[in-house]
Amino acid sequence: SAVISQKPSRDICQRGTSLTIQCQVDSQVTMMFWYRQQPGQSLTLIATANQGSEATYESGFVIDKFPISRPNLTFSTLTVSNMSPEDSSIYLCSVEIPSAYNEQFFGPGTRLTVL
Amino acid sequence: QKEVEQNSGPLSVPEGAIASLNCTYSDRVSQSFFWYRQYSGKSPELIMSIYSNGDKEDGRFTAQLNKASQYVSLLIRDSQPSDSATYLCAVYYTGGGNKLTFGTGTQLKVEL
């Protein structure tokens, strides 16, 4: 597996502002992912963040709203821009450990509340 | 048909019993199958992975995969109150973007 940390662990933000979430992993990984988990819901993939290329966004998620950086093989950021209360959610990063089995491991998550 | 389907529960079992959690998935190019455990307020934790038909055992957990029926299950033997959590089934699909798709999760309650 891998040791994954996220900052901040939680935040309360005002409508219209932006928040950048950081994800750090203790080993070099090619594939990093950002998910959203809304209250009482399952996980929804926002985008795949690959080092050295643009992030690949899933349907319903756009770069202007959720810009992602991936400057190296151990770090990524997700920004939630121009926030509204509907963005209140848990944001999770995950990494895929190189193997034949595509196993993903999750960070502890960032709990975001937008007022 | 949803890609990955689970009964949301809650599934209640008495302590010491076998808990059986089920998951069906759509007929796409699926490669790997996973069970995650998520405690309230925590992030998902990978507990079982299975890739080929049949059973895979790890301690009190057994994962079962039947690709012909598009069905994967998780059995928890000798259930403990600490097993009370939401269990998420996930399927790794190839083709059209390699990615992990999650079911909605089954809430398990193990009662004393």
CA atoms within 13 A on the CB side of A40: 3
Q: Compute the CA torsion angle B51, B55, B61, B67 (nearest 10 deg).
A: 50
| Mutation target vs A (from B100, B104, B106; most A CBs, 10 A cutoff) | B100
Phi/psi zone of residue A60: left (φ > 0), alpha (ψ -120 to 50 degrees), beta?
Answer: left
pLDDT of residue A53: 82
How close is the nearest chain A Cα to the Cα of B33, in Å?
9
How does pLDDT run across A9-31, given as a tens digit for each residue? 999 999 999 999 999 999 999 88
- Specify whether the CB–CB gap between A3 and A105 falls below 8 A: no
User: Cβ atoms within 10 A of the Cβ of B17, count?
Assistant: 14
Are B44 and A43 within 8 A, CB to CB? yes
Average pLDDT, chain B: 91
Are B103 and A41 within 8 A, CB to CB? no
pLDDT of residue A115: 96
Whether A105 has its CB under 8 Å from any CB of chain B: the answer is yes
| Mutation target vs B (from A9, A104, A113; most B CBs, 10 A cutoff) | A104
How close is the nearest chain A Cα to the Cα of B18, in Å?
24
| Mutation target vs B (from A61, A91, A102, A103; most B CBs, 10 A cutoff) | A102
Tell me how long chain B is.
112
Q: In sequence order, which residues have a C-beta less than 8 Å from that of residue A115 and are 6 or more positions away?
A: A12, A13, A14, A15, A85
How close is the nearest chain A Cα to the Cα of B60, in Å?
20
Q: Cα separation of A25 and A110, whole Å?
A: 15
Nearest residue of chain B to residue A41 (CA atoms): B104
Task: Tokens for B35, please give them.
Answer: 């069970």
Size of interface A-B (CB pairs under 8 A): 47
pLDDT of residue B43: 96
How close is the nearest chain B Cα to the Cα of A48, in Å?
9
Per-residue pLDDT of chain A (115 residues; tens, 9 = 90+): 789 999 999 999 999 999 999 999 999 998 899 999 998 888 999 999 988 888 999 999 999 999 999 999 999 999 999 999 999 999 999 999 877 678 999 999 999 999 9
